[in-house]
Structure 1
Amino acid sequence: MIIIAVGLWFAFGDPPETVANWFWKDKAAPWEEVDAYYFPNRTNITVHQERFGLDDVQACRNWAYALAGAHRDRSMSKGDYECGIGRIDGHDGLSVYRITVR
């Protein structure tokens, strides 16, 4: 019975995403990548820079703050950023992640 349940989970579920949600609720699981988005003007998110495939959330934050410094906004008072963890899907320029954090 357990083997059937696990088989169904693999067939119809998403075991890596489920396990990541159990143990890594607010950070990247060891097999996930992090994508970074920096917005120089937080009121206009259509203008942004992005970097894909970072190892962890701290690398995302470091990259975003480095860009903020280059835009003379070291305190991130004008700009903003997001770290997308575990890309699930992408369609028409829109990416969907397991979670997004700052």
Structure 2
Amino acid sequence: MSNWHQRTPQKRSPGIRRAVWRRDSGLCQHTRVDTGLPCFAPGAVVDHIHNLADGGRDSAENCQVLCQWHSDKKTALESAAGRRKARQARSLPTSRGHRPLGSLE
């Protein structure tokens, strides 16, 4: 189960967002599979390439501008991976070899 509500909020530098937006010219940097080039649609968000929750840093090098479509797609993939990880954690045996309550096995 996620403990997002227990995490200490990190102080974010507003300068990082501005620097990334300026560096990427406000254009989506997601690399397209068909061309190998960035999407270059108008950007909507500054996104962390490697999630902070997974150990990514809050730095300009770890951020990119994404259009809304690519941001939504990346968020959906990350959410699915998080749910899969939580499901696997619930199905692991406890230290005494018993399955958690609610387990079907």
Which protein has the larger Cα radius of gyration, Structure 1 or Structure 2? 2
TM-score by length of 2: 0.24
Greater fraction helix: 2
TM-score, scaled relative to structure 1: 0.24
Q: Which has the higher strand share?
A: 1
Which of structures 1 and 2 has the larger relative contact order (alpha carbons within 8 angstroms, sep 6+)?
A: 1
